[in-house]
Amino acid sequence: MSSGPLTAGKTPATVITGFLGAGKTTLIRSLLEQAAGRRLALIINEFGDVGIDGEILRACGDPTCTEDDVIELANGCLCCTVADDFVPAIEKLLARPQPPEHIIIETSGLALPKPLVQAFHWPAIKTRVTVDGVVAVVDAAAAAEGRFAPDPAALAAQAADAGQLDHETPVEEVFEDQLLCADLIVVNKTDLVGAADLAKVEDLIRAAMAEGGTGREAKILHASNGKVDPVVLLGVGAGAEDDLANRPSHHDEEEGHDHDDFTSFVVELAPQPDPAALAKTLERVAAAHGVLRLKGFIDVPGKPMRLLVQGVGTRIQTHFDRFWKPDEPRRSRLVVIGETGLDRDAVTAALS
């Protein structure tokens, strides 16, 4: 656990980053199940204004995770709302009669984590909290399909050109930034790939890090459904806020940063009698329009439970996650996330 001279006595915080749908919430859920009485608090930031991740975590029914332990900062980008939202949220947690022993922060899948780590230099929290580690979760299946970077061989050829960061797609940029800030990289969804693809993903990660110009070696772990030993995950002891120079970021090159690359909107659907048919439709729409992420809850008439829908690229999963509450409107709403230019009207029409 954190014990260096700079981190002694401070509350450790772990930043969980990773591209849309990589498995951050799943990993946190697994962590909560294994918390063994340790007081954890969660701060969750999502892209889009409907807090699905907080809902999923609250629905887990884990006694170590009460309503008060989950703080959602759902409006926008954490690093841009540091003063108004993030620092006060940390202060509030520390002021509790029983403050958390460890704070877990889930960034949005589109966040560049470095500016968030920088926020730990704010005077109000600098002497009281340290970033124990930045964990980047990688979707092994999506990475093996080439969704985040060109072929590793091509990347390796570019590695000699370290520092040339401006030729990438927005998705590649975000993916690389998250890796470059990480102390620990969790290659998740290993159940979906074979050994050869897993090796390819590790090559791709190392090539992306080399291309980004860091000399640091982050530790790489494998996981399925985010199952990682909590002692490893929460015991990095990095003091990452004091090691920013070794974490290059596209954010370093820009004045402020750009929120224009991605877009999100909510589609309100009619109740859906057939989850399997809905999943087929979503798969078709995601493929036709290049949707990056879909998530939300659906009313299935006659069913007492709400249907959780999760789409990562064209991979759609559904399951009933909890009973509708008596006073809760049975709405069917999906958050849709894609790159700017995603045709909102066409997607809405195709889903409605």
Ligand X SMILES: Nc1nc2c(ncn2[C@@H]2O[C@H](COP(=O)(O)OP(=O)(O)OP(=O)(O)O)[C@@H](O)[C@H]2O)c(=O)[nH]1
- The span of 24-32, 240-248, 268-276, 344-352 binding ligand X (CB under 6 A) equals 24-32
Other beta carbons within 10 angstroms of residue 224's beta carbon come to 16
Cα distance between residue 187 and residue 172, in whole Å: 17
Cα distance between residue 319 and residue 270, in whole Å: 18
192 binds ligand X (CB under 6 A): yes
Residue from the set 49, 84, 191, 268 that interacts with ligand X by CB under 6 A: 191
- Token duo for residue 6: 């700079």
Of residues 7 and 190, the one with the C-beta less far from ligand X: 190
22 binds ligand X (CB under 6 A): yes
Name which of residues 36 to 95 contact ligand X (CB under 6 A): 53
Of residues 11 and 26, the one with the C-beta less far from ligand X: 26
Residue from the set 14, 25, 249, 264 that interacts with ligand X by CB under 6 A: 25
Residue from the set 24, 206, 247, 306 that interacts with ligand X by CB under 6 A: 24
Do residues 191 and 224 lie in contact, with contact meaning Cβ atoms separated by under 8 Å? yes
18 binds ligand X (CB under 6 A): yes
17 binds ligand X (CB under 6 A): no
Contacts of 43 (CB under 8 A, 6+ apart): 71, 73, 86, 89, 90, 93, 103, 104, 105, 106
Name which of residues 107 to 166 contact ligand X (CB under 6 A): 109
Buried-exposed string 160-172: b where 16+ CB fall within 10 A, e elsewhere: eeeeebeebeebb
21 binds ligand X (CB under 6 A): yes
Of residues 247 and 293, the one with the C-beta less far from ligand X: 293
How far, CA to CA in Å, does 46 sit from each of 24, 77, 111, 278?
A: 11, 8, 9, 24
Of residues 149 and 155, the one with the C-beta less far from ligand X: 149
Of 102, 103, 124, 130, nearest in space to 6 by CA: 130
Name which of residues 282 to 341 contact ligand X (CB under 6 A): 293, 295, 310, 312, 317
Do residues 25 and 68 lie in contact, with contact meaning Cβ atoms separated by under 8 Å? no
Binding region for ligand X (CB under 6 A): 18, 20-26, 53, 109, 188-189, 191-192, 224-226, 293, 295, 310, 312, 317
